[in-house]
Chains A and B, each alone.
Chain A
Amino acid sequence: MGFLSKASKSMRQSNYLSLLRNFNFNPYINRITHQCSSVTSALFCSQSRQSSTREKSTIDLSEYPPELVRNFSIIAHVDHGKSTLADRLLELTGTIKKGHGQPQYLDKLQVERERGITVKAQTATMFYKHRKSGNDCDDEKELPNFLLNLIDTPGHVDFSYEVSRSLAACQGVLLVVDAAQGVQAQTVANFYLAFESNLTIVPVINKIDQPTADPDRVKAQLKSMFDLDPSDALLTSAKTGVGLEQVLPAVIERIPPPPGRSNSPLRMLLLDSYYDEYKGVICHVAVVDGVLYKGGKISFAATGQSYEALDIGIMHPELTPTGVLLTGQVGYVVSGMRSTKDARVGDTIYHTRSIVEPLPGFKPAKHMVFSGLYPADGSDFEALNHAIERLTCNDASVSITKETSTALGLGFRCGFLGLLHMDVFHQRLEQEYGAHVISTVPTVPYIFEYSDGSKLEVQNPASLPSNPKQRVMACWEPTVIATIIIPSEYMGPVITLVSERRGQQLEYSFIDSQRAFMKYRLPLREIVVDFYNVLKSITSGYASFDYEDSDYQQADLVKLDILLNGQPVDAMATIVHNMKAYRVGRELAEKLKKVIDRQMFEITIQAAIGSKIIARETISAMRKNVLAKCYGGDVTRKRKLLEKQKEGKKRMKRVGSVDIPQEAFNELLKNS
């Protein structure tokens, strides 16, 4: 104990200092250091170059060789209790204080908390004393202290690349299953993701306090579907706390330590990054091999850019400087980088001038979905521009170029990883930056080839000439290879859906007596808008769906124009398969008829392919809008009414003489 008390004294003081210096004030830090009982190492001081940032680190990571480190992730179907379990583990280890702070601690974005989803990867480092079985030393102070890194990953298919990178930093996962609901679609998808990455899987049957909980049934499912030993499953209730004490011991006992080589040159995996107004870009990293000291020169393999590691440390649970990150550890690096565009998820970070093999699996962000974003009120362009710049600082996976629409004015063409990503981007623009936007119908990048041999890549349907001078010789569209796993009773409706979406079956088999496994080639366009939602709804949520990019394929594509009183509305143009053009044209015209108000003129809505009209609707002219009544000279009442009417007009978008309400654009977004 002598050792400990000495440590804590020195700690107290150094803590205090570090609190003063630390931008992220953390009320728990004091408590934590006592628990951790580590000593400031002179080593770190010697690494500090500037006296102003001289830090006496409160945590000595050198006490945690890989054998004492565990990196794991929690994966689960939506609402099976992933976030609550994470909160409990953070509390249990004293990383956050019980009953303080917000629930779903790691879901920091409002959009994540509202939707119960994770969009950005987060990490949290915890310390936990555990007597490893077989170790018979029972003196408490001799109990080894373990460093546990929880890596929280997104769950949606849009982010499957990000998930794969996060899992690449883990050696094991907690597979959380609701004790009443049992194995669900995302459980399956997540299991396979972890399984294919060769991770150790610790099944956790959660919510056992529910009256309908049936852990034995769930155990049987885990056995039959994943061949997981029923006796391996932990029974917990993150809500009541039952069984939680078994979780971290299981993590330590079952999940292997990170396999990296301490003596090899530094290689770090970039997990995710975010932008901090004061510090610049903060990268979440996992050290695969070697060691990084504060002040070290580092390079990013994908961009070739070099930086100095100005500040490094761990997320405990907020930024906690440590001055060093060793093999197998997970933490953050601040390097003075200005934009997250230079911090690509999955990139390899290494010591400048050293020569290393980049870590496998890196892919640049691939934009699958494009849509136009316009300020809802035309005059707000600058505000939107600013909001987008700020948001892309934090979400570099979006590509942005300026574009102009005759209907909507100045705006942006944005490329997204997928539809949820697009949704989340919109929501964050509104929630975090107060921007009001109109989005055009999402599209995918097509390629058109003309008779003169020229090729045109189309990210915006409006940019495709409706009546080209050159004949179109061929068109190509991107496809994906989709994997669908469903309970076999849903096969019928799913096959119908997939063939409606022009899917081509590649493979089909049964995983067991209940589950079917299907592989399809699908045009990306067909899954981009609402495929996942429809699939989930026709399978009561049981379908699991994943896809990977595949080749472009030739298709009979046409541009579908929407015309109002003969004038094409560029923001409403779409590219569709010829076979579907008539149906889509009719649907769009009908939908617009419902959302455009009657005006002083008759309005003709037409859908056209080139100069051929394929659908037509008419909105008859407004007949009467008059206040044939007034109030004893009280003009104010009348004024107010007319001003309201004027304001309504102002919010409309105008094409020719037709006023289009903003809802019309939003309406087109729904299942088109």
Chain B
Amino acid sequence: MLKSTFTPILWALTPKPKYPKHPPHAVTNTSTAHVRHNASVTTPPLPSSAYVHLPFCRKRCHYCDFPILALGSFSPHDDDPRVSNYVHFLCREITATKVSPNPNAPLQTVFFGGGTPSLVPPRLVSLVLDTLRIKFGVSQDAEISMEMDPGTFDADKMREMVLLGVNRVSLGVQAFQEKLLKACGRAHGLREVHEAISVVKSCGVENWSVDLIASLPHQTEDMWEESLRLTIQAQPTHVSVYDLQIEQGTKFGRLYTPGEFPLPSEVQSADFYKMASRMLCDANYNHYEISSYSKSGYECKHNSTYWKNMPFYGFGLGSASFVGGVRFSRPKKLNEYMNYVQNLENGLVNGSVSADDRTHAKDMAMDVVMLSLRTATGLDLKHFQETFGRSIVLSLLKAYKPYVESGHVVGLDEERKTIRIDDLSNSLLDKANTKGRLAYIRLSDPEGFLLSNELIAIAFGVIDSWEDRPPYKEIA
């Protein structure tokens, strides 16, 4: 369930910066598509990703404020009614979801997040996957990820999951210190961590990720260095490094104040982040998103839909979806969720479309900026300009100028070469020469990423005070 907290989020497989054509365009193409879509609701872009929430955990971790259902310490058998009831509602939700008549859009990614999806019996996982196949189709080479926690599966269960189609595992290790695992209320120890790693590797899962948490209470620099070292030794294709967030209403929220002992200071915490960036990059991982690292070609495809502001389905308790330009979160309480599913079946709720929530131009611009600046690819200015107009790009660059000077923000040309500060303003004007012309801005690693909230909030300020009507006036 750890994972659940940290959940699947960020990493994604954004195409690497190195191949300019593909990735950058993806970002903007989708936004453009949304815009058009909003203008004429008849041709919505179809999601090709689905997030499925499996909320069961042994117990709640001390930092977790996610919608989960704690089952207790025994391993659920196939007929634990709490699990099978939930999965049945989940399948009913999938089945009742309205889809467009266009049949040619099988899912390219499915992500089982939680909770601890590895607690769910394979038979029930199979049921969910079958329901998805019937409803949307699942592409032959789809990425099917599952969050799995040490101590909740053995080699047999892993093999069963692989047979069902799970081809990517996100392993909730969090730390390599017994003491820290215990302190944050994890339901497993260090032995289970090592077992789980060898099970995953022995079952031939090629694409797998280790999830770690930095800035835990009492965590020292040595411990963090050890965790990173052991992670690198295990040779996963992907590493997610989350930063502990102290949430209200959690045990940690009651016990600790950010920046105060036993939590690391802001300076220490920044050093942890930098250490992760340095060690993982030295080990040949790409830091492709604020908290995601991967070997080349192993970026998480599912999470990349989030960063690219592309649509995705969401199913299950508290899950979020982005369909038809509308973001929607399902109820976080079980009985409310079950009511929701019933209403969905009865046609009383639409699942996604609610006119009030329609993404407006400013909101969309904020989403694009917020999501793309989390990635190494950064914001594709050409497409951003096409969608939202030139004036906002100019204002954004003006606002970012001091941060380019300070090295927090980097300007890149079409070929992903860094543009010198002096050339920055001129390069925009140069219509003829694409080489050396500003095409992307991104946050630097690690300094820019470390202050991403500040920097993105500055961009929000620019968008907020943006009065020029964008070229697509038809957006209401």
Chain A residues with CB under 8 Å of chain B are: 599-601, 622-636, 638-639, 641-643, 645-646, 649-650, 657
- Which B residues between 342 and 380 are near A, CB-CB below 8 angstroms? 366-367, 370-371
Measured CB to CB, the nearest residue on chain A to B114 is A632
Contact A601 B9 (CB under 8 A): no
Q: What CA separation (Å) do A649 and B463 show in the bound complex?
A: 13
Contact of B329 among A627, A636, A638, A657 (CB under 8 A): A636
Contact A634 B320 (CB under 8 A): yes
With A636-B329, A649-B461 known as contacts, the answer to whether A657 contacts B402 (CB < 8 A) is: yes
Interface of A is mostly: loop
Nearest Cβ in chain A — how far from B241, in angstroms?
7
Contact of A642 among B291, B449, B453 (CB under 8 A): B453
Contact of A632 among B51, B270, B450, B456 (CB under 8 A): B51
Nearest Cβ in chain A — how far from B440, in angstroms?
20
Nearest Cβ in chain B — how far from A499, in angstroms?
44
Residue B237 at the chain A interface, CB threshold 8 Å = no
With A646-B460, A650-B461, A657-B402 known as contacts, the answer to whether A632 contacts B266 (CB < 8 A) is: no
Contact A633 B370 (CB under 8 A): no
Measured CB to CB, the nearest residue on chain B to A634 is B320
Nearest Cβ in chain A — how far from B301, in angstroms?
13
Contact of B451 among A626, A630, A642 (CB under 8 A): A626
Q: What CA separation (Å) do A649 and B319 show in the bound complex?
A: 31
Chain B residues, Cβ within 8 Å of A632 = 7-9, 51, 53, 111, 113, 314, 319-320
Measured CB to CB, the nearest residue on chain B to A657 is B402
A-B contact pairs, 29 of them (CB 8 A): A600-B403, A600-B408, A600-B451, A600-B454, A623-B267, A624-B269, A624-B451, A625-B450, A626-B290, A626-B449, A627-B245, A627-B453, A629-B243, A629-B291, A630-B9, A630-B291, A632-B111, A633-B305, A633-B306, A633-B312, A633-B322, A634-B329, A635-B320, A642-B370, A642-B453, A642-B460, A645-B453, A646-B458, A657-B402
Residue B457 at the chain A interface, CB threshold 8 Å = yes
With A625-B452, A645-B453, A646-B461 known as contacts, the answer to whether A630 contacts B329 (CB < 8 A) is: no
Residue B80 at the chain A interface, CB threshold 8 Å = no
Nearest Cβ in chain B — how far from A659, in angstroms?
10
Q: What CA separation (Å) do A636 and B367 show in the bound complex?
A: 9
Measured CB to CB, the nearest residue on chain A to B305 is A633
Chain B residues, Cβ within 8 Å of A623 = 266-267, 269-270, 450
Q: What CA separation (Å) do A324 and B320 show in the bound complex?
A: 77
Residue B252 at the chain A interface, CB threshold 8 Å = no
Chain B residues, Cβ within 8 Å of A624 = 266, 269-270, 273, 450-451
> Which 4 residue pairs spanning A and B have beta carbons closest together?
A630-B9, A628-B243, A634-B320, A623-B270
Q: Which of A601, A623, A641 has the most CB of B within 10 A?
A: A623
With A633-B322, A642-B453, A646-B461 known as contacts, the answer to whether A628 contacts B290 (CB < 8 A) is: yes
With A635-B327, A639-B370 known as contacts, the answer to whether A629 contacts B266 (CB < 8 A) is: no
Q: What CA separation (Å) do A445 and B367 show in the bound complex?
A: 53
Contact A649 B451 (CB under 8 A): no
Nearest Cβ in chain B — how far from A634, in angstroms?
4
Nearest Cβ in chain B — how far from A218, in angstroms?
54
Contact of A626 among B267, B321, B327, B452 (CB under 8 A): B452
Residue B6 at the chain A interface, CB threshold 8 Å = yes
Measured CB to CB, the nearest residue on chain A to B267 is A623
Chain A residues, Cβ within 8 Å of B273 = 624, 626, 628
Q: What CA separation (Å) do A629 and B450 show in the bound complex?
A: 13
Chain A residues, Cβ within 8 Å of B367 = 635, 639
Measured CB to CB, the nearest residue on chain A to B461 is A646
Contact B320 A626 (CB under 8 A): no
Contact A643 B460 (CB under 8 A): yes
With A623-B450, A635-B306, A635-B327 known as contacts, the answer to whether A629 contacts B460 (CB < 8 A) is: no
With A600-B403, A649-B457 known as contacts, the answer to whether A630 contacts B450 (CB < 8 A) is: no
Chain A residues, Cβ within 8 Å of B456 = 642
Q: What CA separation (Å) do A286 and B455 show in the bound complex?
A: 65
Chain A residues, Cβ within 8 Å of B402 = 657
Residue B464 at the chain A interface, CB threshold 8 Å = yes
Excluding A627-B245, A646-B460, 11 further A-B contacts by CB distance (< 8 Å) are A600-B406, A624-B451, A626-B449, A628-B214, A629-B7, A629-B9, A631-B320, A632-B51, A632-B53, A643-B457, A649-B461
With A629-B242, A633-B312 known as contacts, the answer to whether A639 contacts B366 (CB < 8 A) is: yes
Residue B166 at the chain A interface, CB threshold 8 Å = no
Contact of B454 among A625, A631, A650, A657 (CB under 8 A): A625
Measured CB to CB, the nearest residue on chain A to B276 is A628
Chain B residues, Cβ within 8 Å of A622 = 266, 451, 454
Q: What CA separation (Å) do A657 and B398 show in the bound complex?
A: 13
Q: What CA separation (Å) do A600 and B449 show in the bound complex?
A: 12
Q: What CA separation (Å) do A638 and B309 show in the bound complex?
A: 14
Chain B residues, Cβ within 8 Å of A649 = 457-458, 461
With A622-B454, A628-B242, A642-B453 known as contacts, the answer to whether A635 contacts B51 (CB < 8 A) is: no
A-contact 0/1 string along B421-455, CB 8 Å cutoff: 00000000000000000000000000001111111
Residue B5 at the chain A interface, CB threshold 8 Å = yes
A-contact 0/1 string along B317-335, CB 8 Å cutoff: 0011110000101000000
Contact of A630 among B10, B319, B464 (CB under 8 A): B10
Chain A residues, Cβ within 8 Å of B10 = 630
A-contact 0/1 string along B196-235, CB 8 Å cutoff: 0000000000000000001000000000000000000000
Q: What CA separation (Å) do A600 and B407 show in the bound complex?
A: 11
Measured CB to CB, the nearest residue on chain B to A628 is B243
Contact B371 A631 (CB under 8 A): no
- Which B residues between 370 and 414 are near A, CB-CB below 8 angstroms? 370-371, 402-403, 406, 408
A-contact 0/1 string along B256-271, CB 8 Å cutoff: 0000000000110110
Nearest Cβ in chain A — how far from B157, in angstroms?
23
Nearest Cβ in chain A — how far from B297, in angstroms?
22
Nearest Cβ in chain B — how far from A587, in angstroms?
27
Chain A residues, Cβ within 8 Å of B455 = 600
- Which B residues between 282 and 313 are near A, CB-CB below 8 angstroms? 290-291, 305-306, 312
Measured CB to CB, the nearest residue on chain A to B463 is A646
Contact A628 B291 (CB under 8 A): yes
Contact A626 B453 (CB under 8 A): yes
Q: Which of B6, B242, B371, B460 has the most CB of A within 10 A?
A: B460
Contact B113 A625 (CB under 8 A): no
Q: What CA separation (Å) do A625 and B448 show in the bound complex?
A: 10
Nearest Cβ in chain B — how far from A645, in angstroms?
4
Q: What CA separation (Å) do A636 and B51 show in the bound complex?
A: 16
Chain A residues, Cβ within 8 Å of B245 = 627, 629
Q: Which of A626, A628, A645 has the most CB of B within 10 A?
A: A628
Contact A601 B269 (CB under 8 A): no
Nearest Cβ in chain A — how far from B93, in angstroms?
15
Q: Which of A601, A627, A657 has the most CB of B within 10 A?
A: A627
Chain B residues, Cβ within 8 Å of A633 = 8-9, 51, 305-306, 312, 314, 320-322
Chain A residues, Cβ within 8 Å of B111 = 632
Contact A627 B452 (CB under 8 A): yes
Chain B residues, Cβ within 8 Å of A645 = 453-454, 457, 460
Nearest Cβ in chain A — how far from B14, in angstroms?
14
Q: What CA separation (Å) do A636 and B245 show in the bound complex?
A: 17
Contact A646 B7 (CB under 8 A): no
Q: What CA separation (Å) do A642 and B53 show in the bound complex?
A: 25
Nearest Cβ in chain B — how far from A633, in angstroms?
5
Q: Which of A599, A624, A626, A646 has the most CB of B within 10 A?
A: A624
Chain B residues, Cβ within 8 Å of A628 = 214, 241-243, 273, 290-291
Q: What CA separation (Å) do A649 and B5 show in the bound complex?
A: 29
Q: Which of B306, B321, B403 has the most CB of A within 10 A?
A: B306
Q: What CA separation (Å) do A144 and B285 show in the bound complex?
A: 104
Nearest Cβ in chain A — how far from B368, in angstroms?
11
Nearest Cβ in chain A — how far from B226, in angstroms?
20
Q: Which of A599, A631, A650 has the most CB of B within 10 A?
A: A631
Q: What CA separation (Å) do A630 and B53 show in the bound complex?
A: 15
Q: What CA separation (Å) do A639 and B463 show in the bound complex?
A: 13
